[in-house]
Structure 1
Amino acid sequence: MKLKSARVQNYRSIRDTGEFSVEDGKTILVGPNEAGKTAILQALQKLEKPEGVKGFDPLRDYPRALYSDIIKGDLDPKEIPVVTAVFTLDEDDKEALPPAFRACEYKLTRYLGNNGVHALLNAPVSPSYAELENDLLRLASHADVQAQAAGKPIPSAALAVLSKGINSRNYLASEVAEALKDWLRQVLPFVDEDNARETQRLEALKAKVELADGRHAALKVLGGRVPIFVLFSNYFRVRPIIHLAHLAQRLETNMLDDDEYDYGNSCLLSLLGFTAKDLSELGQAVEPAHNEPAKLKTYRDQLDQRRYQLNAASVRLTDEIRAIWNPNPDRVEADRLKVQADGQYLKVVVEDDLGVEIELDQRSEGFQWLVSFFVVFFAEAAGKHSNAILLLDEPGMSLHALKQRDFRGTISRLAEKNQTLYTTHSPFLVGPDELDLVRVVQMTDRNEGTKVHTSVTSGDPAALLPLQEALGYDLAHSLFANQRNLVLEGLTDYWYVEAVGALMTASGDAKLNEKIALVPAGSAGKVVYFATILNAHKLKVAALLDSDTAGDRAANQDTLVHILGQKAILRTKDYCGGSIAKAEIEDLLRDTLVRVAKDQLGWDVEAKAAAQPGRPILDLFTAEIRDFKKYKLAKAFLRWAREHEADDLSVDERTRWKALIFAINAALK
């Protein structure tokens, strides 16, 4: 089951974020301090929290300015929605459902009173009693005649008892559906098999009741498959040396109101399968005399069990750390993590390849963070980490800026197995090719609270600052680092060229020279500036321009022609077969974009596109779709490209892109 979208309401600084989409892999929440990013993650965790994590507390979690409504009794916490999530189903989820419900989506809402309500989306509509009532009464009337003749109780009397107190307008409750199934089985012998109308009525009622029963069965199955949300904060740290007796005392007496200090240590003990008290008592145990073999065996078995469990946990953590934290890929062996018990102390040490052991806190902050993350993750997921969603609050902030950039890959590897949402205001944790994964979090007005934007837009410049810095850094870093550079008009052009280039390379149709850097200029008018700067550094430069008015104006600038020459100025119309005079890069993917827009966004211009083959596709979308944004279309194509191959493009599109890639390589050879 994958999280598709989420919405948070009525939680701390959040009145209503609005519904925002979530990516299948990783989703990045970007925004300034105090925007509400952490609050979003905290609320999401409580949708399906790990065992032992506290639920919503109306006093602490409801927006303070509105809390008087709860005190006065005007609002019931059990009726105040906080988190609503929509999930798509994996293949194993679908296989567990009745066939009629395998195309549905699952929706779950968690309320401030910690109660939940779930529903199925895009599923067959379950009937209400009111929809069945007339047919039930008619069937009962028909069956009464047969029952009276046989001297049996009349079915209409049983139906009257069954229907008493039912809200006829609501969906059939599970117990009502079950009772109706029993009633229909009892009625069956009294239905004249020669009466086609009543026989058909019976079968139709059975089908509708079974549909309601199937809906309840589907909800029950999916309710047990909701992923656990594992939140990891920088405050959760595993301490290198733990005094077991002191920790056991704090945990048993609840001495701390806020147990973040001990949380990582508690998770470590949970992972080991011991309580602090158990380990403490083992550390205090006195070896029995040798003339008491039974007690001696029990004592040794206890010590061996402790040693084996500590060793198993050490091996597991070491394997995970080695898979993720790889500071030197050329090293055959990486550092090994060890969890050791020594009397009243539990120690976490790191052994290097020379066999030298040092405490965990003497390693880098980044390494400590990762160890603590895995301890909390494995403990909270409790064997269900294959079905857990990770929520990371400001991950890797203790890392150097360039190490943060490398750490993006670490998070991507985590997201391959577990859907991941993380917050950041660091530009180094957002890649230039990851802007479609970004959700911008802002709070410009306390009365409106925190908002989440799926598109990269915001009324608060500070919210977009990390994205601007990320693009600026990567552009500055790569601008003069590559001998070959293709300047593109904008970011969406960059996405299309990169995504299709990857598809064509994978299929073997054409391979874009991997030494060519793609440089988005921001607009057609700025292409000349980028080309001038790059050319001044003796670098090879080509430009790909749309064939619209802005592209024509840029292509005809004397400066650009002088710098690049005509052969290095590529125009989109030259690869559309001449059928579209003012072709833009989207016209090179005309057939696929029409399908993607319809399937993913509900934008249907198929008939118009077929009727006007010479009209630019963006003109069609702009004319036919209200509030059309080319960014949303490009983002939808990126999602499509991750799940498809070049063979899924039309034949014309593959031909066009093959010619374009050949021309780009030739211009920058």
Structure 2
Amino acid sequence: MRLKTARVRNYRSIRDTGTFEVENGKTILVGPNEAGKTAILQALQQLSKPENVKGFDPLRDYPRAMANDLTRGVVDPKTIPVAEAVFALDEADKAAVPAEYRECEYELTRYLGNNGVHRLLNAPQGITHGDLESDLIRLAAHADVQAQASGVALPSAKLAEATQGMVRNHYVTADQAKVLRAWLRAALPWVEEDNARETARLETLNTKLDAAEARDTVLATLSKRRPVFVLFSNYFRVRPIIHLAHLAQRLESNLLDDEQYDYGNVCLLKLLGFSAKDLSDLGRAADPDPDNPDKLKAYRDQLDRRRYELNAASVKLTNEVGKIWNPNPERGADHAHRLKVQADGQYLKVVVEDELGVEIELDQRSEGFQWLVSFFVVFFAEAADKHSNAVLLLDEPGLSLHALKQRDFRETISRLAEKNQTIYTTHSPFLVGPDELDRVRVVQMNDREEGTKVHTSVTSGDKAALLPLQEALGYDLAQSLFANQRNLVLEGLTDFWYVEAVALLMAASGDAKLNEKIVLVPAGNAGKVVYFATILHAHKLKVAALLDSDTAGDQAASQDTLVHALGQKAILRTKDYCGGEIAKPEIEDLLRETLVRVARDDLGWDIGAKAASQPRRPIVDIFAAEVRDFSKAKLAKAFLRWVRTHEASDLADGERTRWKALFSAINAVLK
């Protein structure tokens, strides 16, 4: 089951985030301090939390400005929605439900009182008590006439008992359907066999109850299949030395001093496959009688099992941490070395062994290294095992890692997200890749009255919310500007998305290939293309520019500075690849047919008829005229999502021809 959209309300700083989309792999929440990013993750975890996580605390979790409503009893926590989510079914889910329910979606709402409500979307119509009421009353009245002479309790009286507490506009549950079906069986002897109308009514009621039971069964099935939400916080740390007897005593007495303090240690024990008591007992056990070979063997087997488990965990942690801490060992320096988990009497220790064989406790390594070890311990113990069907919620991951190691950890998150959807918060530009802006959700809080908001599009009224994205783009741009011999300067970010996405699509199919050594440089707008291209050319780098054929593009292309620096051949125009039919074409016109389909299917923007009737008009102009609040970025992001599940053959034939010609021209100019 895949999380599709989410929404948080009535929680701490949050009045209503609004509904925001969640990506199939990873979704990134960016925003300034105090915007409410952590609160969003904490609320979402309550949708389907692990067993050992506490639920909502109405007194502390309800927004303080409205707390008086709770204390005065004006509102009931069980009626206050907090976390809402819509899940799409995967193939395994679809196989577990009847065919007519396989295209539905599962919606779950968790309330402040820790109760929940779920329902199906886009599913066969549910049966409410109101749908049955008229037929039940009429059938009962008919049966009463037949039963009066017998002196038994009237069917209508029995019906009143059976329907007591049922709400007219609520769906009929499976349990309620069983009660009503029992009443129908009891009333059956009083229904005249030759009365076609009442016999048909009886059949209709049974059919509706069948549908109600089927729907309720599907809900129960999907409820069991929904993913668990696993939250990892920076506070969850594995301690370098654990006193097993003390930890075992606190666990057995349910008297943990600090849940955050002990959480990482408990996860370490889960990873090892031992309880604290098991390891503690082994640590204090006396050697068995050497004359009793059975007890001696059992004791030795216990110790061997402990050693093997500790060694296996050590190897697993060393390998994973090493992929990030020292992803390029050939560079020498900055070794992660070997992690070792050791049992010594009543102490469980996590140590790091350097290249000289010297062992030091984990807490003597850097904060970043300790965080990384703790993360993998918790992940392997929780998400990768018991909660394999999980949504991972990471709060400021890698905060104490060096910037370049954060960039490496970004790839680790991508790897984890292949199996478990991942939502994480960050301030760091190194945890937002330049090709991941479509995965970003901007979190902001302009004022306390409005509360926290989440924007699916990369827009915000708060410049601080966008700072990590600007820094991410700035860093990658700075790294690439003067380090690459071949540069294609584009007008803006959406142009970058289209060129890169189509290049990957065409290369995968073998249709055409954009030279991998060419770096795409988004300038910001057509006017800035001149500055970027001129500066790059001054550094004796190969440069080409791709400009739209609208007014801004024409002005940029005609500037003497640009023409002198690049020459006419290196100034590529969209009109040369869209054909002569479209007046002033932009880059979107190279994907005209596909974007019309994507906008209709993904965004609900149906301009197909208008586009067909106005073939000379730029497609962006048609979208802007026909769609209220049209956004070029939103359209481009929808195309990026489409690319992930389609191939080049799904593009129109004319589009593949246009892009093939464009890539050929770019390669020729920058050869």
Whether TM-score is above 0.5 comes out as: yes
Residues 388-437 of structure 1 show CA distances to partners (whole Å, capped at 9, x for unaligned) of 11111111122221222222212111111111111111111111111111
* Displacement after TM superposition at 1:109 (Å): 1.3
* Displacement after TM superposition at 1:259 (Å): 3.0
Assess if the C-alpha contact under 8 Å between 2:369 and 2:401 holds in 1. no
Q: Structure 1 169/62 Cα, relative in aligned 2: closer, same or farther at 3 Å?
A: closer
Stretch of structure 1 that moved more, 165-174 or 199-208: 199-208
* Displacement after TM superposition at 1:284 (Å): 1.5
Residues 464-486 of structure 1 show CA distances to partners (whole Å, capped at 9, x for unaligned) of 11111111111111011111111
Match of 1:78 in 2: 78
Assess if the C-alpha contact under 8 Å between 1:377 and 1:385 holds in 2. no
Aligned residue pairs, count? 669
- The question of 1:623 aligning with 2:597 is answered no
* Displacement after TM superposition at 1:215 (Å): 1.5
Tell me, in whole angstroms, the C-alpha distance in 2 between the residues paired with 1:179 and 1:479: 73
1:83 partner SS? strand
Stretch of structure 1 that moved more, 636-645 or 569-578: 569-578
Q: Structure 1 325/224 Cα, relative in aligned 2: closer, same or farther at 3 Å?
A: farther
2:430 corresponds, among 407, 428, 431, to 428
Q: Structure 1 352/148 Cα, relative in aligned 2: closer, same or farther at 3 Å?
A: farther
- Counting only pairs closer than 5 Å after superposition, residues 58-207 of structure 1 correspond to structure 2 as 58-138=58-138, 159-183=159-183, 201-207=201-207
TM-score normalised according to structure 1 size: 0.92
Tell me, in whole angstroms, the C-alpha distance in 1 between the residues paired with 2:139 and 2:658: 65
Letter in 2 for 1:639: R
- Counting only pairs closer than 5 Å after superposition, residues 582-601 of structure 1 correspond to structure 2 as 582-601=584-603
* Displacement after TM superposition at 1:303 (Å): 3.0
Q: Structure 1 188/586 Cα, relative in aligned 2: closer, same or farther at 3 Å?
A: farther
TM-score normalised according to structure 2 size: 0.92
Percent identity (aligned): 76
Tell me, in whole angstroms, the C-alpha distance in 2 between the residues paired with 1:178 and 1:100: 22
Tell me, in whole angstroms, the C-alpha distance in 2 between the residues paired with 1:264 and 1:574: 60
Match of 1:313 in 2: 313
Assess if the C-alpha contact under 8 Å between 2:256 and 2:262 holds in 1. no
Stretch of structure 1 that moved more, 632-641 or 129-138: 129-138
Letter in 2 for 1:208: K
* Displacement after TM superposition at 1:117 (Å): 1.2
* Displacement after TM superposition at 1:209 (Å): 2.2
Letter in 2 for 1:504: M
Tell me, in whole angstroms, the C-alpha distance in 1 between the residues paired with 2:525 and 2:611: 26
Tell me, in whole angstroms, the C-alpha distance in 1 between the residues paired with 2:271 and 2:323: 19
Letter in 1 for 2:443: V
Stretch of structure 1 that moved more, 513-522 or 609-618: 609-618
Tell me, in whole angstroms, the C-alpha distance in 1 between the residues paired with 2:193 and 2:504: 64
Assess if the C-alpha contact under 8 Å between 2:324 and 2:408 holds in 1. no
Tell me, in whole angstroms, the C-alpha distance in 1 between the residues paired with 2:598 and 2:204: 38
* Displacement after TM superposition at 1:560 (Å): 1.7
Tell me, in whole angstroms, the C-alpha distance in 2 between the residues paired with 1:195 and 1:549: 79
* Displacement after TM superposition at 1:309 (Å): 3.6
Tell me, in whole angstroms, the C-alpha distance in 1 between the residues paired with 2:586 and 2:193: 68
1:67 partner SS? helix
Q: Structure 1 164/554 Cα, relative in aligned 2: closer, same or farther at 3 Å?
A: same
5+ long unaligned stretches in structure 2:
none
2:85 partner SS? strand
Stretch of structure 1 that moved more, 431-440 or 261-270: 261-270
5+ long unaligned stretches in structure 1:
none
Match of 1:655 in 2: 657
- Counting only pairs closer than 5 Å after superposition, residues 260-659 of structure 1 correspond to structure 2 as 260-291=260-291, 296=296, 299-318=299-318, 320-321=320-321, 327-328=327-328, 336-351=338-353, 357-381=359-383, 383-659=385-661
* Displacement after TM superposition at 1:237 (Å): 1.4
* Displacement after TM superposition at 1:384 (Å): 3.3
Assess if the C-alpha contact under 8 Å between 1:324 and 1:413 holds in 2. no
Tell me, in whole angstroms, the C-alpha distance in 1 between the residues paired with 2:46 and 2:269: 23
Letter in 1 for 2:529: V
Stretch of structure 1 that moved more, 541-550 or 57-66: 57-66
2:342 partner SS? strand
Residues 523-577 of structure 1 show CA distances to partners (whole Å, capped at 9, x for unaligned) of 1111111111111111111111111111122122222222222221111122122
1:596 partner SS? helix
* Displacement after TM superposition at 1:46 (Å): 2.1
Stretch of structure 1 that moved more, 363-372 or 96-105: 363-372
Stretch of structure 1 that moved more, 537-546 or 135-144: 135-144
Assess if the C-alpha contact under 8 Å between 1:314 and 1:337 holds in 2. yes
* Displacement after TM superposition at 1:227 (Å): 1.1
Tell me, in whole angstroms, the C-alpha distance in 2 between the residues paired with 1:152 and 1:249: 64
Residues 600-640 of structure 1 show CA distances to partners (whole Å, capped at 9, x for unaligned) of 11111112112222221111111111111111111111000
Tell me, in whole angstroms, the C-alpha distance in 1 between the residues paired with 2:136 and 2:189: 15
Residues 123-159 of structure 1 show CA distances to partners (whole Å, capped at 9, x for unaligned) of 1221222223333455566778999999999866654
Stretch of structure 1 that moved more, 568-577 or 254-263: 254-263
Tell me, in whole angstroms, the C-alpha distance in 2 between the residues paired with 1:207 and 1:566: 74
Assess if the C-alpha contact under 8 Å between 1:394 and 1:422 holds in 2. yes
Tell me, in whole angstroms, the C-alpha distance in 2 between the residues paired with 1:392 and 1:6: 16
Assess if the C-alpha contact under 8 Å between 1:51 and 1:380 holds in 2. no
* Displacement after TM superposition at 1:452 (Å): 1.3
Stretch of structure 1 that moved more, 72-81 or 476-485: 72-81
1:108 partner SS? strand
Task: Please tell me the root mean square deviation across aligned C-alpha atoms, in Å.
Answer: 3.0
Tell me, in whole angstroms, the C-alpha distance in 2 between the residues paired with 1:404 and 1:393: 14
Letter in 1 for 2:507: T
Assess if the C-alpha contact under 8 Å between 2:507 and 2:514 holds in 1. yes
Match of 2:43 in 1: 43
Residues 26-67 of structure 1 show CA distances to partners (whole Å, capped at 9, x for unaligned) of 111111222221121122222211121121112322222322
Tell me, in whole angstroms, the C-alpha distance in 1 between the residues paired with 2:465 and 2:514: 35
Letter in 2 for 1:473: Y
Tell me, in whole angstroms, the C-alpha distance in 2 between the residues paired with 1:100 and 1:194: 35
Letter in 2 for 1:650: A
2:225 partner SS? coil
Match of 1:220 in 2: 220
Tell me, in whole angstroms, the C-alpha distance in 2 between the residues paired with 1:112 and 1:61: 8
Letter in 1 for 2:437: L
Tell me, in whole angstroms, the C-alpha distance in 2 between the residues paired with 1:556 and 1:204: 75
* Displacement after TM superposition at 1:91 (Å): 0.6
* Displacement after TM superposition at 1:202 (Å): 4.9
Q: Structure 1 382/623 Cα, relative in aligned 2: closer, same or farther at 3 Å?
A: closer
